[in-house]
Amino acid sequence: AQSVTQLDSQVPVFEEAPVELRCNYSSSVSVYLFWYVQYPNQGLQLLLKYLSGSTLVKGINGFEAEFNKSQTSFHLRKPSVHISDTAEYFCAVRMTGGGNKLTFGTGTQLKVEL
Amino acid sequence: ETGVTQSPTHLIKTRGQQVTLRCSSQSGHNTVSWYQQALGQGPQFIFQYYREEENGRGNFPPRFSGLQFPNYSSELNVNALELDDSALYLCASSLVQGQSYGYTFGSGTRLTVV
């Protein structure tokens, strides 16, 4: 079974400052890794995903994440945030060898302030 | 792309009643998954349908059931509603291609059980 831990439930940050949202996972098998964003009263939008290859993954809206197998982490970063980045961010994993479900963390609320 | 459409957007039901939620998959997608997102939590996998058959299920009781139709639209049915069933229900469609397919989420149905 897999599990995902997002230690930070809320992250406040000033506009134009850098931000890192942390994600650690636990799995007995290889996984694919995802970051999703959820704006208020909306569904989930894919930011980026790691399937294989380069451990640094670039996504939409200037976000990137780095897969660290030894640390079992997949932290999300953005060098300069904007007010419009205020949202809930979810890290998720899926087994590579089959299986269909995404296992999500509990989410991190990013609040960008002026 | 047509995206994933869910209906209704909001619903209020009484404990003990039954409810049906609907999802229209993104054009070309042959797989649909359903997730339950309780307030302040990450989405939890309910089940997945592929070619009109359930092919994966999370830790949900049998009163949660589903259907997938030949046009790949889907329904989630919940019988004997309980207060804890109050949540945002998300539908996600995908196209199975090898082991690395992506998911497109709908905006969800907000179910309130009173």
Instruction: Write the pLDDT tens digit of every residue in A33-42.
Output: 999 999 988 8
Chain B hits for A43, CB-CB cut-off 8 Å, are: 4, 6, 90, 105-108
Q: Is A59 on the interface with B (CB under 8 A)?
A: no
Residue B99 has pLDDT above 60, yes or no: no
Using CB atoms, pick whichever of A49, A101, A106 lies closest to residue B58.
A101
Average pLDDT over residues B37-43: 93
Q: Smallest CA–CA separation between B73 and chain A, in Å?
A: 18
Residue B72 is given by DSSP the state S
Strands (E), B25-86: 31-37, 44-50, 53-57, 64-68, 74-78
- CB-CB neighbours of A15 under 10 Å: 14
The rounded distance, in Å, linking the Cα atoms of A102 and A31 is: 10
CA atoms within 13 A on the CB side of B48: 20
From chain B, pick out residues whose CB is under 8 angstroms from the CB of A104: 42-44
Which pLDDT tens digit goes with each residue over B42-64?
999 999 998 899 988 999 999 99
Check CB contact of A36 with chain B, cutoff 8 Å: yes
